Amino acid sequence: MALFILIFEIIGTIAFAVSGAITGLKKNMDIFGVCILGLTTAVGGGIIRDLILGITPPAAFRNPTNALLAIAVSIIIFIPAVRHGIFANNRIYELLMLISDSAGLGIFTVCGARVAIDAGFSSNIFLTVFVAVLTGVGGGVIRDLFAGDRPYIFVKHIYACAALAGAILCILLWNAVGSGISMVSGFALIIIIRLLAARFNWNLPHAKEFSQQ
Amino acid sequence: MALFILIFEIIGTIAFAVSGAITGLKKNMDIFGVCILGLTTAVGGGIIRDLILGITPPAAFRNPTNALLAIAVSIIIFIPAVRHGIFANNRIYELLMLISDSAGLGIFTVCGARVAIDAGFSSNIFLTVFVAVLTGVGGGVIRDLFAGDRPYIFVKHIYACAALAGAILCILLWNAVGSGISMVSGFALIIIIRLLAARFNWNLPHAKEFSQQ
Amino acid sequence: MALFILIFEIIGTIAFAVSGAITGLKKNMDIFGVCILGLTTAVGGGIIRDLILGITPPAAFRNPTNALLAIAVSIIIFIPAVRHGIFANNRIYELLMLISDSAGLGIFTVCGARVAIDAGFSSNIFLTVFVAVLTGVGGGVIRDLFAGDRPYIFVKHIYACAALAGAILCILLWNAVGSGISMVSGFALIIIIRLLAARFNWNLPHAKEFSQQ
């Protein structure tokens, strides 16, 4: 189980580092800026989660593995961008952004639920769900604020809705089927909702009359 | 007394949720974005306050009442906006924003003072005032950063000045007249300063020569 | 030694307050906005550091000296700006910004390392370096987010690189030569790297092909 969670977290870290790094490339940052954006996207959500739960110093500070991994991924992303400019192709960029951001969102949401439950808050479902969603969306919000964009969560296809649905599913299943299956289920639901939303252009209602007048 | 504080906090939560929700409408966000902005505005200041004071998890996570209330208010605000576009009328928008933001600022500032005093920091007046002002302005700063605006506190009529004056009044009165009267007094002073500033266009000096050259 | 650190911190606080205040002037803020930006730039990095290390309430809240100093500096900066508009001269502004921001970055980075070591984390070099860099860059990131700019750290000459190099030097020397010399060495390295980078227009590689297509 520990191995499963380790691999899960590694994949999530790589995914969010990719989404941060290609956002930095899109904004024409230099290699250090790209690394910092990759790093903050990958570890930001977990740091917020640990501060909220009173776990200090946050795990990202105590154990450098994920931070160093995020920096390495950012450098690896940087090289083909410089050599071949492949992310300048908007379709490749959009697709990679959708996949990496969705994977990071899904994994960090359910990992956030696990940390909150392990810290002894399983009896407070609201807190667990709230912390899980915050862990999932936190890295992306920091990424977008640093990049000068309006956070993804306010503009994209059913973004926080997906995290919320996945967190609730994960926590409801927890006692019945165990942590492993419930984490994978929550993760899968988040990925499915986001991909379907992107594919079929699902959007929640806007108050369009507001802006048109 | 507990009932008074409860009602006070409910009004403050509704007021800040309204200010966040109509900011989201102004920015043409969808219903989930509007809810998130209403929620973060309403609970953001209190979460910052609790992290500063070492109260983890913050109250907003332990007790869902205020968070659910903020979401409900955001949804209620959303419906007439979509149906009738009433906030597209700039005068109605500005007026509602002024009232809701001022009420939230006033209530959260004095509630922040109360939490700092209850946590045992009443002997450090600077800390109590600093925490009170931060609680009051925190939600609005988060709202404006998420919406991509320069925070209100840097541009609006004597904004933080009002919170500072109210916090100092509240804390100075605390031992003399009790928590209830001092909270209401601080709140009233903040509201009065902000409404007068808006009515008579009070502004603090700018360094105009700076930008004109 | 305590006196040395006190003087060091005072210089750093003044430097960062200057950089925040002139940023506020550049953005045509009123005197209160200028003070808040000077204040948040000067105390922001230390507050983030203390929250990460679990030191609550953060030092900036417990002891008002630095906060009041930052506000005083901001007011002093404001007066000649209004009277003579001297910061409207772009060369003076750029030069003062480079010097004050570099001095603040250098001092807060090594002070951050000291606080992390004093808090008992000296055995975890990664944590100490990470906290040191975060303390150094934190105030500037908050300043730039509030001012609506992309944070300096993502655009300027070898900014975080300098903080990283200085933090590592400071921590490597710590046990060998004592805290005083290692802090001054780390500080000096940061200043030298930033001034050289500005003088000779050093830049890290960008992914230019990305933005040109």
Domain with A21 in it: 2-201
Tell me, yes or no, whether B163 lies in a domain: yes
User: Does residue A212 form part of some domain?
Assistant: no
Give the chain C residue whose CA is nearest to the CA of A78. Answer: C207
pTM exceeding 0.80:
yes
B165 within domain boundaries: yes
Interface test with A, best of B22, B27, B29, B149 (most A CBs within 10 A): B29
Of B150, B151, B160, the CB nearest to C32: B160
The pLDDT of residue C157: 64
Residue B120 lies in a domain: yes
User: Does a structural domain hold residue C213?
Assistant: no
pLDDT given for residue B83 in this prediction: 66
> Is the model's pLDDT at C210 over the cut of 50?
no
Cβ C10 vs Cβ C31: under 8 Å: no
Please tell me the total count of domains within chain C.
1
Read off the pLDDT of residues A115-174 as tens digits, 9 standing for 90 and up: 999 999 988 999 999 999 999 999 999 999 999 888 888 877 688 889 999 999 999 999
**Nearest CA to CA, how far is B141 from chain C (Å)?**
9
Q: Quick one: chain C helix, strand, coil %, rounded to 5? A: 85, 0, 15
Two tokens, residue B78: 């959303």
**Would you call C209 and A81 a contact, using CB atoms and an 8 Å cutoff?**
yes
Omega before B151 cis (within 30°)?
Answer: no
pLDDT exceeds cutoff 70 at B91: yes
Q: Does C48 map to a domain?
A: yes
Helix or strand run (H / E) with residue C197: helix C179-199
Domain-embedded: residue C45 = yes
| pLDDT band per the 50, 70, 90 thresholds, residue C207 | low
Give CA–CA dist B83/B74, Å, rounded.
15
* Residue B213 falls inside a structural domain: no
Measured in residues, chain B has a length of 213
Q: Once rounded to an integer, what is the mean pLDDT over residues A68-85?
A: 85
Q: Evaluate the omega torsion of the peptide bond into residue C80 and state whether it is cis, within 30 degrees of 0.
A: no
Q: Dump pLDDT digits (tens) for B144-197.
A: 999 988 888 887 768 888 999 999 999 999 989 988 999 999 999 999 999 998
Q: Which residue has the higher pLDDT, A210 or C34?
A: C34
**Angle value at C-alpha A66, between A10 and A62, nearest 5 degrees:** 135
Q: Worst-scoring range by mean pLDDT, A4-8, B126-130, C82-86, C134-138?
A: C82-86
- Model pLDDT for residues B101-115, shown as the tens digit of each residue: 999 999 999 999 999
C148: left (phi over 0), alpha (psi -120 to 50) or beta: left
Q: Which of A83-87, B93-97, B147-151, C110-114 has the lowest mean pLDDT?
A: A83-87
Give the model's pLDDT for residue A157. 64
The Cα of B143 is separated from the nearest Cα of chain C by a number of Å equal to: 12
Note the ipTM here. Answer: 0.84
Residues of C in contact with A47 (CB under 8 A): 52
What residues of B are in the A interface, CB distance below 8 Å? 24-34, 36-37, 47, 51, 54, 56-58, 61-62, 64, 67, 78, 81-82, 84-85, 87-89, 145-148
Q: Which of A207, A202, A165 is nearest to B77 (CA)?
A: A207
Chains touching chain A through at least 3 C-beta pairs below 8 angstroms are B, C
CB A106 within 8 A of CB A190: yes
pLDDT tens digits for range B8-37 = 999 999 999 999 999 998 888 888 889 999
Greater model confidence, B150 or C109: C109
Distance, CA of C64 to CA of C72 (rounded, Å): 12
Provide the percentage of residues in chain A whose pLDDT is more than 90: 62
Provide the H-helix boundaries in chain B: 2-26, 31-53, 59-62, 65-84, 90-116, 125-147, 159-177, 179-199, 208-212
Residues of chain A with pLDDT > 70, as a percent, come to: 91
